[in-house]
A and B are shown apart, each in its own frame.
Chain A
Amino acid sequence: MGVEGIAIGTTVPAEALPLVGGVPERQDRMLRLSREIRTLETAGRPTGSLISSGCPAMDACLPGGGYALGSMVELVHGGGGCRHAEMPVRGVGTLSLAMRLGMEAMAGGKYMVLIDHQRQFYIPGVLGLGVPSERLIVLQPKTDADAIWGIDQSLRNTAVGAVVAMLHRLEDRVARRLQLATEQGGGLGILVRDAQAARRYPSWSEVQWRVRAALPVSSWQTRWFDMELSRASGARVGTHVRVGLGSRGEWVMASEKVGNPHEATGALHLAAQLAQPALRRRHVAG
């Protein structure tokens, strides 16, 4: 139980890393280039304010203090036992977090589309979070292809504030297609995935969180989560934050940002990331 990340990451001291530029000019140039790359990457996205998560501690970890309009967000189950992937339900709480984030994106009268291709979402539990039922549309596609098409179409629609789906397998091209659709629609695409699938398939998401249930549990009133920012363009990867959800779905005052454990050592994370130079480059560019 608890085998979650591959423990072959190498922790390299910062001074041992090859320097990108030896002089400050080079560092400035690198910074400028990274900004330009980011501008190019986000060219298709609608301009405007950010979508706040509603949780200040979480916003503080994100570039600009919130989620960019038209971006994909992934919540990856971080905890659980070694055979958890075989379980038909989990109970980690990632879906509740996804719905809570989606509610913030519904501001101004927008709609939420819930992709329920496994026919497992239990509406009384979902509505208990405070999601307005009159602006909730449930899609129950019969096939994975239909599910992807439904997500794509929903994301492209400007009336949709958030699309929430539990998609574990996500091919590279499909992920890119969804990213472009999100940029066009200007809402939030929120995917809930398990850790194994997230490792196996690449991500085109703007932000990826790893979510673990925080222990010990002191009460039924508040549910605490340890969240680790595992991917975010323009933010520090590896930042930890503890957030809480109240029984009515409200954010409970979270503790301060725990900080980045890799910050001091400049650690290279997973072997999988090292093996994918493209993804690694995107991290550096971010």
Chain B
Amino acid sequence: MDPRPNQALGARVLFVNDPRRGRIVAAANATARARGVVPAMTLTQMGTMCPEATWTEHDPQADLEEIVSLAEQLQQFSPVVGLEQLGKTLWAGRSLHQPQAIFIDVTGTSAWFGGEQAMARAIHTWCSERRWITCIGLASSLGSAWAMANYAFRDRIASAMESVESGLSQPASHVWIRISEDDADTHAELAGYPIEALRVELAVVAKLHRLGIRRVDALMRLPRASLTARFGPELLVRIDQCLGDRLEPIRSQQIELELATSLTWEHPIANIPFLSQRVDEATRDVCQRLQHIGHGALRLVCRLELERQSIDMDAPVGSRDCAAHIMQLSLFQASNDPEHIAWLFLGQLELSPPRMGSDIAVRSLRMEVHQSAPLQWRQNELFEEVNVKYQSAIARLIDSLSARLGRNQVLAPSVVRDPLPELQVRMRPLTGLRTDGRAQETKRKLSRAPKRDFANESSMETPEEAHFSRPSRLLSSPLLIEVEVSKLGEPATVRCRNDIWKVLRTAGPERVESGWWSGPSHRRDYFRIILESGDWWWIFLDLKSKRWFLHGGLD
């Protein structure tokens, strides 16, 4: 959800780059979906349906950090909170292969909130206050709770989301809580759900659809013995998990003791210097544990539990506690250097300190290593010691730059094949998780940057002119200029911002046309020109509008 209240969001779309199909829709908000945009659609198709949609590239790391942070904060309701465990392939009904649901074990804790209903209400209220729209399912098995949360309100959620996105209603006004009282109730509830609610793969669902089986009750009528033979073993496992016949554990966010440390204080801490010392202590402790097993951390989470000092006895249970302050670190290279890690955490603490004051203080601290890798250097060549030394130093630099500036500001560039110059560059963050949020690429990402193959570039480009055929600076939005053309059709004079320059030399045109599959079509004739001032420009004639633009400079 966008944090801004009472403001229309408009249609928003996230896209991913598919190697075969180009840019495809990964997720769309309700406003975009109402216009017909659906996941897996190409941006070209989307453009005809919803041209006003704003689209940005999907960042799986940002999503993961957000959901991890939310799960950490939900630990105020139960000590056992975990993200959903993904299958090997995408589940039917999902467009992204990454955790999108949170499991909370409420066994024994609901009594503290006055019952399951009251607890679900408390969770909903807490989430609504932070502008999260939540669907809550509460059942005796993880599978059925997941199915309820995901499919019980599917018919109503689209219109409600649209009204929230338009600023017409607030998240708190939509309460989606489904609680099953007993197993019979669960079975009755599940019977009406689509088979996608069982968390099965796309291929299995497609096979069932071909047989005309679309709902869980129709599936349950099939002979159980034949299911494995016809649809594979996964389907039966999922049915059993849903009905509670097979146990499914919650993989808790709480990390095992070896790679985590906790500090709790009798008197909560309310000043930053003292807190910094404690963070430093915890880091040293965690690093010592890592050193014992010969590992280095790749991802760490530091959780600062906040507590309100004044106690209002009339306030409901749970409201006395404040949300935890979460700091997350993703490292470029596995490290167990306490000074380096502490420095990164303290930098974060300095940039965004927890909201402490006379009333709120930090009660406890927990630092966990969420991902680690063995510390070892593979030496590729005999005389590579210098490079290894530099790699270690550069990893420290990348970590500190990413921690302070943000991971999306510290990038490894690569060049991809695309006719449009502005789409030829891909920037990849150098730190953080990549695809599904669990597998960290421990290889050096820098060393995997694809090299540009100039010999196989577009036909207009000759290898001899590799450098001077492309600008070194490119404008994000081309600047409109006026060009007088000679009899040969080449630029003769250029007028830009009330200055007129004579063109001394011209090279081109180089015809650039975008593919039909990659959005609105572009047809341009590019020219390299040398002005009388000695400047080298890269300009183009837009063949559709017949207007000239300055696109870059060979600076």
Contacts and interface: CB of A to CB of B under 8 A. Distances in A.
Contact of B390 (A111, A120, A212): A111
B200 interface: no
Interface in A79-99: 79-81, 83-84, 86-96, 99
A125 B413 CA distance: 12
A90 B555 contact: yes
A139 B410 contact: yes
B472 A126 contact: yes
Nearest to B507: A220
A213 B398 CA distance: 36
B400 A88 contact: no
Interface string A121-140: 11111111100011111111
A127 B452 contact: yes
Contacts of B454: 128
Nearest to A96: B472
Interface string B369-394: 00000000000000000110111111
Given A109-B386, A122-B421, A96 B470 contact: no
B30 interface: no
A149 B404 contact: yes
Interface stretch (A55-63, A65-73, A151-159, A267-275): A151-159
Given A136-B413, A157-B396, A217-B534, 8 more contacts: A1-B499, A86-B497, A90-B535, A94-B555, A122-B470, A139-B405, A154-B401, A157-B393
A245 B554 CA distance: 12
B166 interface: no
A120 B473 contact: yes
A153 B413 contact: no
A120 B422 CA distance: 10
Nearest to B530: A217
10 contacts: A88-B479, A91-B531, A122-B474, A125-B474, A125-B552, A133-B412, A142-B409, A150-B401, A157-B397, A221-B465
Given A79-B534, A90-B555, A159-B393, A95 B472 contact: yes
Interface in B515-552: 528, 530-537, 550, 552
B491 to A, nearest CB: 14
A252 B475 CA distance: 29
Interface residues of B, number: 73
B464 interface: yes
Contacts of B5: none
A141 interface: yes
Interface of A: 1-2, 79-81, 83-84, 86-96, 99, 108-111, 119-129, 133-142, 146, 149-150, 153-154, 157-160, 212-217, 220-221, 223, 245-249
Interface in B56-79: none
B421 A248 contact: no
Given A128-B466, A141-B405, A120 B534 contact: no
B340 to A, nearest CB: 13
Contacts of A120: 473-476
Contact of A248 (B410, B466, B479, B501): B466
A169 B52 CA distance: 38
B401 A139 contact: yes
Nearest to B397: A157
Looking at A80, A91, A92, A215, which has the most chain B CB atoms within 10 Å of its CB? A91
A217 B504 contact: yes
B1 interface: no
A134 B446 contact: yes
B231 interface: no
Contact of A124 (B400, B470, B532): B470
Contact of A247 (B391, B468, B552): B468
B534 A213 contact: yes
A264 B415 CA distance: 51
Contacts, number: 220
Contact of B409 (A92, A139, A212): A139
Contacts of B247: none
Q: For the complex, would chain B's binding face be called helix, strand, loop or mixed by DSSP majority?
A: mixed
Interface of B: 386-387, 389-394, 396-398, 400-401, 404-406, 408-415, 421, 424-425, 427, 430, 446-452, 454, 464-476, 479, 496-499, 501, 504-505, 507, 528, 530-537, 550, 552-555
B505 A217 contact: yes
B554 A93 contact: yes
A188 to B, nearest CB: 15
Contacts of A1: 499, 533
A128 B393 contact: no
A136 B496 CA distance: 34
A2 B364 CA distance: 65
A87 B496 contact: yes
Contacts of B415: 123-124, 127, 133
B471 A125 contact: yes
A95 B470 CA distance: 13
Given A81-B533, A133-B452, A134-B449, A87 B472 contact: no
A89 B393 contact: no
Contacts of B498: 83
Given A95-B555, A139-B401, A223-B468, A89 B473 contact: yes
A215 B504 CA distance: 10
Given A88-B479, A124-B415, A159-B390, A80 B535 contact: yes
B66 to A, nearest CB: 19
B451 to A, nearest CB: 6
B526 to A, nearest CB: 13
A83 B497 contact: yes
A214 B451 CA distance: 32
B447 A125 contact: no
Given A120-B475, A157-B393, A129 B467 contact: yes
A142 B408 CA distance: 10
B555 A133 contact: no
A215 B536 CA distance: 12
A88 B550 CA distance: 10
Nearest to B474: A122
Contacts of A91: 471, 531, 535-537, 553-555
A119 B398 CA distance: 19
A153 B400 contact: yes
Nearest to A99: B472
A108 B507 CA distance: 38
Contact of A153 (B389, B390, B397): B397
B384 to A, nearest CB: 8
A141 to B, nearest CB: 6
Contacts of B504: 215-217
A220 B479 CA distance: 24
A215 B398 CA distance: 42
B178 to A, nearest CB: 43
